[in-house]
Amino acid sequence: MAKDKLLDFDKAIELYEPVLGFEVHVELNTKTKMFCGCANAFGQGANTNTCPTCLGLPGGLPQVNEKAIESSIRLGLALGCEIAENCRFARKQYFYPDLAKNFQTSQYDEPIAFDGELTLELASGREITVQIERAHMEEDAGKLTHVGGATGRIQGAEYSLVDFNRGGVPLVEIVTKIIEGAEADAPEVGRAYVGAIRDIVRALGVSNARMEEGNIRCDANVSLRPRGSTVLGTRTETKNVNSLRSVERAVRYEIQRQAAILEAGGTITQETRHWHEDTGTTSAGRPKSDADDYRYFPEPDLVPVAPSREWVEELRATLPEPPMARRKRLREAWGFTALEFQDVVNGELLDAVEATVAAGASPADARKWWTGELTRIANARGVAADTLVTPQQVAELSGLIASGELTDRLARQVLEGVIAGEGSPAEVVEKRGLKVVSDDGALIAAIDEALAAQPDVLAKIQDGKVQAAGAVIGAVMKAMKGQADAARVRELILERAGQ
Amino acid sequence: MSEISTDLVRHLASLARIDLSEGELQSLTGELAQIVDSIAKVSEVATPDVPATSHPIPLRNVFRPDEVRPSLTVEQALSGAPEREGDRFKVSAILDEEQ
Amino acid sequence: MPELIHLSAAELAAKLASGEVTSVEATQAHLDRIAAVDGDVHAFLHVSDTALDTAAAIDARRAAGEELGPLAGVPVAIKDVLATKDMPSTSGSKILEGWLPPYDATVVARLRAADLVPLGKTNMDEFAMGSSTEHSAFGPSHNPWDLTRTPGGSGGGSAAAVSAFEAPLALGSDTGGSIRQPAAVTGSVGVKPTYGGVSRYGAIALASSLDQVGPVSRTVLDAGLLHDVISGHDPLDSTSLTDEWPSMADAARRGGTGEALTGLRVGVVRELSGENGGFQAGVKQRFDETVAALTAAGAEVVEVEAPSFEYAVAAYYLILPAEASSNLARMDSVRFGLRVRPDSGPATVERVMSATRDAGFGAEVKRRIILGTYALSAGYYDAYYGSAQKVRTLIQQDFAQAFDKADVLISPAAPTTAFELGSLVDDPLAMYLNDVTTIPANLAGIPGMSIPMGLAPEDGLPTGLQLLAPAHADARLYEVGAAIETMLTDAWGHDLLSQAPLLKEAVK
């Protein structure tokens, strides 16, 4: 594969206006598939979740999953869409070995949701609104494994194997209208858009929203328009860009690649392109051609879907606060800096922090525990922080510090105990005997001993160099096995030193 | 007269994934032209004011509860497979790119 | 016990219930009959090797005092379009040769649950495309009345099996007349229920919006008994109706008293009555006589018009190929069925699929797939498939107006008596016109029935009367059908089928 020539990104943006469009497939987390009662489950033995319907056996017939309709409507509403009063499924026909019936049951000219919009917030604080053309329901295909040849790719494979467990899993495909005006932010817009979809479907609870498992898959359309022109350029569609970072990189790459071609006087080929995560490049796939004749027609084995307005309003009432609005509200309420708040968001700890605050902790303490110690332990163990402890436990721990019953250092030991399942923070304090020593007598004895051992330090303190007390604090804390309040120790040291 | 040409039939056969021989293409072209001529009259009465009927008995909102039903066993699922490898269906190398 | 095979299903069921006859005896008698005549008739593609075991198990349960259903122990033949997990299901196609489905069609499961005894799978035109069974990949069936003639199609096997006394009952499927036209030309009874009345789950789809499974038998009551077993809502078929159906057998019994005809408003559809020619003289003659007899029996016969029917065949031959081209796309050599590698060149999966579909499909199937692909392809959809769907609306409107004036509509069920094998097979258009009388009911989704109407004087072969009722009014068909059956057999002094020359004589 010849290496693509790339034009410098800033130069590309100077010469051309990038025009974007996205098709995002969201896999719904229903218990069963879209059109049959087989389990919608990831990671099970090949062909264990199939039936005559999703295996496309002669005589199989589809039956619509009501929950999938409900999830699609809720997703449509969350994207600000109109919900169709009447819509239908249609067959999109093409032959492919992972497509059991050799047609995909989808929607064509009558999607369940249409005409929505989604406002994105970029890191710079800039807001950009993406128009949603439609969100329609369809089914996923089976999974192909290519055997022989290089690295499991389709090219050069000797043969392929098909597992139909994923065949028939419900998808919602969200299609944007063209996005203009992103300019140099175009790559970030891609990332922010897909991130926003992910946040929405997660907040709705309609998808597991794990991009690494393919629950959300993005096709990115990019074209360039020369400055001053009103005509759209030829677009490419980069398929299956499956992480937020990759969306950003793929958009950037296509802008630079197309700009280099145009700059050299060439033309862009309308085609699908493959994204290569390892090299961060795209490569040519199938050219779009007149042969793409999907022969759509209304699915005769299914009847129209006509959601009543009452049902739609009931579902609207179940919508959670839009993620962006929620973030704005929480950031203001908590008084975090942009950076602090971003830490929480990036760590996917918004829910955990919110619940911890609700359980009585201060926002600052909640943030500190979750983005600090808990994230460190979670990363070390390769798990998510919110699986280690509950927000209630964190709030309780934070309360013990505030009341002076624990020091930060003791609290970290208590946390270990809580994570190890030894009980609530109070129980761990009790069992491990980790309470702060608040008996001044014991502290004074230790201080006197430490001062006696370090006469030079005592002299410095008495000389007015109070910061020298730190060395004594360390020795006292060590003697007390950490179970002392450092501030109190410091006070007592100065007192004993006659200051 | 209809516009059925051998090239059109060849294109249709490729869409329908049928490897027709030249002889079949020729005879089908003639037959199809004749059939299309005789059925094209449907457009005479299909005026814009007539709604389309896709289902003879109108039904709406026929849904299935989201409850798991037993699937086939792996052996049942693969019982008709012309070729298999392990628990998966085996097919020859794929030329085209994914859709 | 050769006489066992001549009993109607209702009579046989009564003898089984009383213990006079066992299911094993009844099943053996039909298996013997199949062994004796099916070499000539070729109604069956597969004969069950477990039928006697099934029958014995039912006998044992009956002997143990278990309460069984009304048709328990009665043998039944099953059209090969239906998936059966103990018998190959090929839909008459080489591409599915030997395919053993891992599941039963809903109607088959209901037969088993009602303790009928599946005898085997009956022959049919490949994927139900045809009106003669000559498009079966496994050779044609022959009409028991004259073995040189076709038993109609696509369900010629089921009709031939019943009329040759190889089975008292059979299941068929009717997309444009595949139950009713074979019934007409074999002197048997066939019913296409209201669309959605009987589950299509497990019926290998031809045209999803037209297909309907229904009973084939020798009497209207028998058809009603079988109808009661297979009908009713099936959540696996999204187009299945939730109606609480009345018993069709009860309706037939009520009709059998003959009183149903008094004051009945019978509509003769002008466009289907042969006024403009196209019907064989003997068919027209028997139809006119039947109309006269109905008037004499106290029915009020009115003429109704259905101007859009002129477009029915054209609309049908767009909708059917379009849906069929899509439904048959799954025959691709990946998960089941035939796999053929190309003679030369690389054996990519695309080329294997194409070679398989070329080798596995017969000429008529290819013809209709190409036609349907054309009708759905970009640029033609509105003119063809879209327009055909509008014609459906017009036909429904014509029926609605006709049923304002009449309780049932009647016409000949087929324009001719059974035609000679080979006479139409190379003329697809002429073959398509064979369904002119039956197609409108499929387009509108209404129920239709064919019952024997006497023998055509010129060739001594059966003619059929078609009855049509509004959607959901299947019971009316059974009541009126049974009444006309009684009226006609009383007039003839015997069942029509008793006039059938015995099979061996028919050959000569």
Domain hosting residue C73, numbered range: 4-261+447-503
Higher-confidence residue of C505 and B39: namely B39
- pLDDT band, very low/low/confident/very high, at C322 (cuts 50, 70, 90): very high
Return the pLDDT at C506.
Answer: 45
Least CB–CB distance from B60: residue in A161, A272, A306: A306
- pLDDT band, very low/low/confident/very high, at C276 (cuts 50, 70, 90): low
Long-range contacts of A362-365 (CB under 8 A, 24+ apart): A362/A398, A362/A402, A363/A333, A363/A334, A363/A335, A363/A336, A365/A398, A365/A401, A365/A402
Return the pLDDT at C116.
Answer: 98
The reply to whether B71 touches chain C by the CB within 8 Å rule is: no
What percentage of chain A carries pLDDT values higher than 90? 68
Q: Closest-CA residue in chain C for B45?
A: C391
Q: Is residue C220 part of a domain?
A: yes
CB C301 within 8 A of CB C294: yes
The reply to whether A285 touches chain B by the CB within 8 Å rule is: yes
What string of DSSP letters covers A266-318?
--PPPEEEEEETTTTEEEEEEEP-TT-----EE-TTS--B---HHHHHHHHHT
Mean pLDDT, range C440-456, rounded to an integer: 97
Is C178 tagged catalytic?
yes
Neighbours of chain A (3+ CB pairs under 8 A): B, C
Asked which of A45-54, A232-241, A477-486 is least confident by mean pLDDT, the reply is A477-486
| A43/A131 same-domain check | yes
3-state helix, strand, coil in chain A (%, to 5): 40, 20, 40
Q: What CATH number corresponds to the domain at position C111?
A: 3.90.1300.10
Least CB–CB distance from A59: residue in C202, C239, C323: C202
Q: Do C393 and B76 touch (CB under 8 A)?
A: no
Q: Is residue C38 part of a domain?
A: yes
Residues of B within 8 A of C238 (CB-CB) are 59, 62
CB < 8 Å from A in window 206-235 of C: 207-209, 235
Q: Closest-CA residue in chain A for C389?
A: A298
- pLDDT band, very low/low/confident/very high, at B2 (cuts 50, 70, 90): low
Instruction: Please pick, among C23, C79, C192, C325, the residue that the annotation labels catalytic.
Output: C79
pLDDT tens-place string over residues C328-358: 999 999 999 999 999 988 899 999 999 999 9
Neighbours of chain C (3+ CB pairs under 8 A): A, B
Q: Do C370 and B38 touch (CB under 8 A)?
A: no
pLDDT tens-place string over residues A259-316: 999 999 999 999 999 999 889 999 988 776 655 799 999 999 999 999 999 999 999 9
Q: Closest-CA residue in chain C for B34?
A: C429
Least CB–CB distance from C330: residue in A56, A61, A302: A56
Q: Are strands A236-241 and A271-276 parallel, antiparallel or unpaired?
A: parallel
What is the overall mean pLDDT for chain B? 91
Q: Is residue C349 part of a domain?
A: no
Mean pLDDT, range A84-107, rounded to an integer: 97
What is the overall mean pLDDT for chain C? 95
The reply to whether A286 touches chain B by the CB within 8 Å rule is: yes
For testing contact with chain C, the best of B22, B92, B99 (most C CBs within 10 A)? B92
| A246/A269 same-domain check | yes
CB < 8 Å from A in window 360-399 of C: 373, 376-378, 381, 385
Return the pLDDT at A264.
Answer: 95
pLDDT tens-place string over residues C145-170: 999 999 999 999 999 999 999 999 99
pLDDT tens-place string over residues C184-243: 999 999 999 999 999 999 999 999 999 999 999 999 999 999 999 999 999 999 999 999
| A290/A382 same-domain check | no
CB < 8 Å from B in window 140-199 of C: 194-196
| A406/A457 same-domain check | no
Q: Is residue C160 part of a domain?
A: yes
Which residues contact residue A374 at a Cβ distance below 8 angstroms, ignoring those fewer than 6 apart?
A385, A388, A389, A394, A415
Residues of C within 8 A of A95 (CB-CB) are 329, 332, 350, 353
Q: Is residue A2 part of a domain?
A: no
For testing contact with chain B, the best of A30, A91, A303, A311 (most B CBs within 10 A)? A303
Q: Is residue C270 part of a domain?
A: no
The reply to whether A44 touches chain B by the CB within 8 Å rule is: no
- pLDDT band, very low/low/confident/very high, at B99 (cuts 50, 70, 90): very low
| A179/A285 same-domain check | yes
Number of structural domains in chain C: 1
Q: Do B28 and C334 touch (CB under 8 A)?
A: no
Q: Do C384 and B40 touch (CB under 8 A)?
A: yes
Q: Do B99 and A305 touch (CB under 8 A)?
A: no
| A390/A266 same-domain check | no
- pLDDT band, very low/low/confident/very high, at C508 (cuts 50, 70, 90): very low
A391 three-state secondary structure: helix
Q: Is the peptide bond before C158 cis (omega within 30 degrees of 0)?
A: no
Helix boundaries (H) for C42-78: 51-63
Distance (Å) from the alpha carbon of C98 to chain B's nearest alpha carbon: 9
Higher-confidence residue of A423 and C434: namely A423
Map out the domains of chain B as residue ranges: 6-45
pLDDT greater than 60 at residue B33: yes
The reply to whether B87 touches chain C by the CB within 8 Å rule is: no
Return the pLDDT at C49.
Answer: 97
Q: Is residue A4 part of a domain?
A: no
Domain hosting residue A489, numbered range: 440-496
Place of tokens 């922080």: A385
CB < 8 Å from B in window 87-106 of A: 88, 94-97, 102
* C-alpha to C-alpha distance for C35 and C12, rounded to whole angstroms: 20
Question: Where among A432, A465, A488 does a domain terminate?
Answer: A432
Residue B69, judged by CB atoms within 10 A of its CB (0-12, 13-18, 19+), counts as middle
For residue B77, how many C-alpha atoms fall within 13 Å in the half-sphere facing its CB? 27
Instruction: Please pick, among C48, C91, C154, C188, the residue that the annotation labels catalytic.
Output: C154
Q: Is residue A184 part of a domain?
A: yes
DSSP H or E stretch at residue C172: strand C169-173
Return the pLDDT at C416.
Answer: 94
| A278/A356 same-domain check | no
Q: Which tokens go with A204?
A: 């709705």
| A187/A143 same-domain check | yes
Mean pLDDT, range C364-380, rounded to an integer: 94
Q: Do B56 and C335 touch (CB under 8 A)?
A: no
Q: Are strands B88-92 and B84-85 parallel, antiparallel or unpaired?
A: antiparallel
C291-C294-C295-C296 Cα dihedral, nearest 10 degrees? 120
Is C79 tagged catalytic?
yes
A93 three-state secondary structure: strand
* C-alpha to C-alpha distance for A308 and C307, rounded to whole angstroms: 37
| A200/A63 same-domain check | yes
Neighbours of chain B (3+ CB pairs under 8 A): A, C
Q: Is residue A3 part of a domain?
A: no
Angle between helix axes A425-432 and A391-402 (nearest 10 degrees) is: 60
Q: Which CATH number fits domain B6-45: 1.10.287, 1.10.20, 1.10.3470, 1.20.1630?
A: 1.10.20
Distance (Å) from the alpha carbon of A293 to chain B's nearest alpha carbon: 8
Q: How many CB pairs under 8 A join B and C?
A: 191
Query: E strands, C26-132, where?
Result: 44-47, 75-79, 117-122
Instruction: Please pick, among C89, C91, C178, C188, the residue that the annotation labels catalytic.
Output: C178
| A40/A188 same-domain check | yes
pLDDT greater than 90 at residue B94: no
| A22/A48 same-domain check | yes
Query: In what side-by-side order are the strands of the sheet with A297-298?
Result: A103-106, A90-93, A297-298
pLDDT tens-place string over residues C387-438: 999 999 999 999 999 999 999 999 999 999 999 999 887 777 777 777 899 9
Q: Do B60 and A161 touch (CB under 8 A)?
A: no
Q: Do A32 and B68 touch (CB under 8 A)?
A: yes
Return the pLDDT at A152.
Answer: 64
pLDDT greater than 60 at residue A439: yes
Is C366 tagged catalytic?
no
Q: Do C205 and A59 touch (CB under 8 A)?
A: yes
The reply to whether A61 touches chain B by the CB within 8 Å rule is: no
Instruction: Indicate if ipTM > 0.90.
Output: yes
pLDDT greater than 50 at residue A47: yes
Q: Do B63 and A65 touch (CB under 8 A)?
A: yes
Q: Do A297 and C202 touch (CB under 8 A)?
A: no
Distance (Å) from the alpha carbon of A199 to chain B's nearest alpha carbon: 24
| A212/A338 same-domain check | no
Residues of C within 8 A of B61 (CB-CB) are none
∠ CA C38-C42-C43, nearest 5°, is 95
Least CB–CB distance from A300: residue in C203, C209, C334: C209
CB A88 within 8 A of CB A305: yes
For testing contact with chain C, the best of B2, B11, B19, B87 (most C CBs within 10 A)? B19
pLDDT tens-place string over residues A379-407: 999 888 888 999 999 999 999 888 878 88
Indicate the residue type of A193.
Answer: Y
Number of structural domains in chain A: 3
Q: Is residue C497 part of a domain?
A: yes
pLDDT greater than 50 at residue C507: no
Distance (Å) from the alpha carbon of A247 to chain B's nearest alpha carbon: 19
Residues of A within 8 A of B60 (CB-CB) are 86, 303-306
